Structure 1
Amino acid sequence: MAPPRLFPLALALAALGGASVMAQSLTMGVGSPVSSLDPHYHQLRSNSEVSQAIFDTLVMTDAQARIRPGLAESWRAMGTEGWEFTLREGITFHDGRPFTADDVAFTLARIPGVTGPGASYTGLIRPISRVEVVSPRVIRFYTSNPSPLLPTYMSQVPMLGRALHQGASTGDFNSGRAAIGTGPFRLVSYASGDRIVFARNEAYWGEKAPWADVTYRIITNDTARAAALLAGDVDIIDQVPTSDLARLRQDARFRIAETTSLRSMYLTLDATRAPPVPLLASSTGAPLDRNPLADPRVRQALSLAIDRRMLVDRVMEGSALASGQFMPPGSFSAIPAFPVPAADAATARRLLAEAGYPQGFQITLAASNDRYMNDARIVQAVGQMWSRIGVRTTVEAQPYAVFIGRASRREAPANLLSWGNSTGEVSVLLNSVLRTVDRARGHGSSNRIQYSNAEMDRLLAAAETELDNARREALLREATQVVLDDRAILPLYLQNAIWAMRAGLTFEARSDERNDPAMVRAVAR
């Protein structure tokens, strides 16, 4: 593996002296790989958490995904025309340049031109029709329609600077040349797939980070990550292997932080693909002249074959919440009293026979094996459940970097995928994963099965312009119900966000799963 690239700040840190630096050092072991340091390359949780260490957003979120001021100290609705944001005074980039409203305008103009392998940031800024820089500290976003969620969307958009980043490529960020922001940490070095080293931004506008330097080690193997914590090689890990939880809870050397996350794990069923569908065949292996997944009875059968509570109890070892919808109970836009679908193999077999597949068929179910907690084990379990109703299932689990490209190219008819509803409501998932694809408008950026439902699109569009919270929530619930009835994707569970750390540290578990080194604190003694 190539050694990490060192930037000038790394030399300064080395000169500080070993003892003082080590006393203020934090090493984090994280399970999800980072695909780029370009903050607009791919709307992926692991990318975003690194971006938000180096860069900042106009609006921030707390551990419960509630919005609070960030680079913007305040914002107000301009009736139905849009929103006005007022920036804090005295914010500077890491190189000392001032951050102004013009930099916000530049950032929004840059986003549509950046393409990555998955969800685009374009969907977050699509309501904006025009930007007006009123003064160095005041900017207005005009929208074609009322946009009540725009401040929430702004909590997901990292801000850049025109003078610093005009013409900067994704490669420039990955090399470190352009990785200069306003965030609580400066970039020291980046070794792709291995580690990122940060140093505290001493001129940060907000509360200073408690660590002089942070090493962010990417350890995708669950066993290796837990072993690194046990050996003292890292101070805190995320995505704690469920098999190690009981042992860590009982060990006084460690502390656990855990909460139900906003991450929905689901299966996609490629019902719109015309035959021949790759990796889909008759029970004898012969080609099929129609796509079984296009039949709603088949999709219902596949859902009924899955014992979601068993997945949670046995595979996730209790570290998840079985669910038939995308949001946790009690959250905004969650459907009240929505039951977890019960497994019913007999009815599933009957539905398959009614659909013309009494002997079932053959299907491949694909997933990552290094991105989500127990991802490979989950698809193995689902594959066994499907096979029991006659749908002979081949499971393929690969590294996320390989798998996500295959999923985007629709190379398998069924995939285990996920969406983290970090905005605290369901609209971004519906827009990105299930809305009819319209790249120009930022619709369907992660719609990998080309799903399209005019009624869902209508309800979602109405919700996005509804200023009354109660009416907007009702519309989002209706839109959710439409896609759940269609069973184009099958929600399985909401993954728990779990961290383990040495006993001398504390961390408030975040429902958005974000690793935030600035919020890891030493326990007062």
Structure 2
Amino acid sequence: MNTLMPKFRAALLAGAVALALSPRMAEAQNIAIAIGGSVTSLDPHFYNASPNHSAAAHFFERLTEFDSSAKLQPALAKSWEAIAPDVWEFKLRPGVKWHDGQDFTAEDVAFTIKRAPDVPNSPGGFGAFVRGVKRVEIVDPLTIRFHTPGPYPLLPVDFASLFIISRHVGEAATTEDYNSGKAVIGTGPYRFSSYTPGNRVQMTRNDAYWGGKPDWATVDFRIISNPGARTAAILSGDVDIIDTVPTSDIPKLQQEPTLQVSSIQGLRLIYLAADRSRDENPVFVTDNNGKPLARNPFNDLRVRRALSIAINREALAERVMENTAKPAGQWLPPGTYSYNPDVTVPVQDLDGARKLLTEAGFPQGFRLTLHTPNDRYPNDAKTAQAVAQMWTRVGVQTTVDALPWSTYSVRSNRQEFGIRLMGWGSLTGEASYALVNIMGTYSQETRFGANNSGRYSNPGLDALTVKATSTLNDKEREKLLQQAVKMAMDDVAIFPLHQLVNTWAVKRGLKHEPRMDERTRAMDIKPSES
């Protein structure tokens, strides 16, 4: 026995060391995330797109913030109140430090308000979120007032979409400085390590974070655009969580003992947007012989209605999306503030569509190309293909051109497509977010239409939107927004298709809080021991 005990203790010690150094134990404080959408910039004011928001949220913060259920919460502002009908006062959180150790103050907020709407070459910026600010007044380092043109109840909601950047870094910084990491100096829970466009963003824990020590020492935030590759990555254990789970893979992942599926009804609408920027010679639209058209058919309401009722939205949701989406006739799901129950999902009517096309002067239809991303939204290219078949059945011969999001998004915002498939998440949970950004008449002066890639314009709708967003009474404002929803849908401002159910696959044992705004963040994932 005496001769065996030393060997037994040595073996026991060796086993303990091996356990301590096992890969899973060594990586216990590290998290690997894979998202499907491409992060096109780390400049938090360059492009209002969900993947960019998800990445930037690790480094930068906002005055207010939406929680996972789209409810407004304090963030860098600890409180706010309307001290006059046209003045909002925000009290800023004390003790907040930038990553370089300097104090966060009202000067940084004022600088952000000035900088956000004027980022050079932005394909879809943040001007809409500061359009309610007429003048900024700094009362003291932790108190700031925003003077509005009139009553504007949505200012705290708008600010939940605007990341605050530091004045001392940002004044001399360009978008390229953010992409290199030089200017990624935020107040958030993680610090910048590296960024490889189209591949990954790497970050480390900010131990001085005002909100407490973050859970993860390092975050490997990867971009895996190919759906099959994302599923393979979570199955192999290469990553800990993936978003936009391919619908066909959900049943398999639900049965996988090492994984769990996390989901929530989302706020994102998948829709089609037609080019309204041209009156004649529309791009990617021709007659049946391939010759240019003298007039833009999308400017004719009868054509827009025909294309809308040619679509079988129930079939898209059930077959293409495999019941992971709900058919939509407007851009908010039922039960949300300003959802209009009188605006129903259009019913497919092929004969009615043909009749409308004939009335519009296209009895034989015409030809068009439907552009779509192929790596941004669940089944985006498949959805476009299904719509193309439906339109072809009513005489609108449709082909599909599917592109990577990094290319597609830039071209779309340059009005290079005739009609395109898009997605929009109304993360405020109310109608004005889309009315201002994707249906408001594009204007740098009014800061409407920042994401209105089709350049739709309806002055009556703009006026109703302004009236609604200036109405303080919640019930009265909701009625006005519901009127605006009906006006927009009657005019087929966009073609709603379906609303997504947001789905993630997560390693079993991790605790993930799914978000209605579909953001994928390290802050929403907790270690199993917590």
TM-score normalised according to structure 2 size: 0.93
Residue from 132, 137, 145 that aligns with 1:140: 145
1:423 aligns with 2:412: no
Superposed CA offset, 1:243-295 (max 9, x none): 10011112221111111111111111224522211221112323322222222
1:306 aligns with 2:322: no
Q: Is the 8 A contact 1:42 1:115 kept in 2?
A: no
Residue from 344, 349, 355 that aligns with 1:344: 349
Displacement of 1:32: 0.7
Return structure 1 stretches of 4+ with deviation > 4 angstroms: 16-21
Displacement of 1:346: 1.5
Aligned to 1:447: 452
Q: Within 1, Cα distance between the matches of 2:161 and 2:122?
A: 18
- Matching of residues 109-508 of structure 1 within 5 Å: 109-271=114-276, 273-336=278-341, 338-508=343-513
Displacement of 1:411: 2.4
Matched residue pairs, number? Answer: 510
Displacement of 1:87: 1.1
RMSD, matched Cα: 1.7
Aligned to 1:13: none
- Report the AA paired with residue 406 of structure 1: R
Q: Within 2, Cα distance between the matches of 1:358 and 1:370?
A: 36
- Report the AA paired with residue 31 of structure 2: L
Q: Within 2, Cα distance between the matches of 1:521 and 1:19?
A: 16
Partner of 1:439, secondary structure, is: coil
Q: Within 2, Cα distance between the matches of 1:218 and 1:425?
A: 30
Q: Is the 8 A contact 2:514 2:524 kept in 1?
A: no
Q: For structure 2, list consecutive stretches of 5 or more residues without a partner in the other structure.
A: 1-20
Q: Is the 8 A contact 2:60 2:188 kept in 1?
A: yes
Partner of 1:225, secondary structure, is: helix
Displacement of 1:40: 0.8
Aligned to 1:35: 40
Worse-matched range after superposition: 20-29 or 380-389: 20-29
Partner of 1:353, secondary structure, is: helix
Worse-matched range after superposition: 428-437 or 134-143: 428-437
Aligned to 1:512: 517
Q: Within 2, Cα distance between the matches of 1:125 and 1:74?
A: 19
Superposed CA offset, 1:32-66 (max 9, x none): 11111111111111111211110111111100111
Q: Within 2, Cα distance between the matches of 1:119 and 1:145?
A: 26
Q: Is the 8 A contact 2:110 2:136 kept in 1?
A: yes
Q: For structure 1, list consecutive stretches of 5 or more residues without a partner in the other structure.
A: 1-15
Partner of 1:89, secondary structure, is: coil
Displacement of 1:204: 0.8
Q: Within 1, Cα distance between the matches of 2:224 and 2:518?
A: 16
Q: Is the 8 A contact 1:117 1:405 kept in 2?
A: no
- Report the AA paired with residue 436 of structure 1: T
Q: Within 2, Cα distance between the matches of 1:168 and 1:75?
A: 30
Partner of 1:210, secondary structure, is: coil
Displacement of 1:19: 8.2
Q: Within 2, Cα distance between the matches of 1:21 and 1:145?
A: 57
Q: Within 1, Cα distance between the matches of 2:222 and 2:245?
A: 15
Aligned to 1:69: 74
- Report the AA paired with residue 411 of structure 1: E
Overall identity of the aligned pairs, in % = 43
Worse-matched range after superposition: 74-83 or 459-468: 74-83
Q: Is the 8 A contact 2:440 2:462 kept in 1?
A: yes
Aligned to 1:522: 527
- Report the AA paired with residue 212 of structure 1: A
Partner of 1:461, secondary structure, is: helix
Specify whether residues 322 and 207 from structure 1 end up closer, same or farther in structure 2 by C-alpha distance, changes over 3 A only: farther
Q: Within 2, Cα distance between the matches of 1:343 and 1:18?
A: 55
- Report the AA paired with residue 478 of structure 2: E
Aligned to 2:113: 108
Q: Within 2, Cα distance between the matches of 1:30 and 1:522?
A: 19
Partner of 1:217, secondary structure, is: strand
Q: Is the 8 A contact 1:92 1:99 kept in 2?
A: yes
Displacement of 1:17: 12
1:82 aligns with 2:90: no
Q: Within 2, Cα distance between the matches of 1:83 and 1:356?
A: 53
Q: Within 2, Cα distance between the matches of 1:356 and 1:386?
A: 17
Partner of 1:53, secondary structure, is: coil
Displacement of 1:337: 5.1
Q: Is the 8 A contact 2:68 2:513 kept in 1?
A: yes
Partner of 1:124, secondary structure, is: helix
Could you say which structure has the larger radius of gyration?
2
Q: Within 1, Cα distance between the matches of 2:121 and 2:276?
A: 25
Q: Within 2, Cα distance between the matches of 1:39 and 1:17?
A: 38
Specify whether residues 155 and 17 from structure 1 end up closer, same or farther in structure 2 by C-alpha distance, changes over 3 A only: farther
- Report the AA paired with residue 245 of structure 1: I
Specify whether residues 48 and 344 from structure 1 end up closer, same or farther in structure 2 by C-alpha distance, changes over 3 A only: same
Worse-matched range after superposition: 126-135 or 274-283: 274-283
Q: Within 2, Cα distance between the matches of 1:110 and 1:412?
A: 30
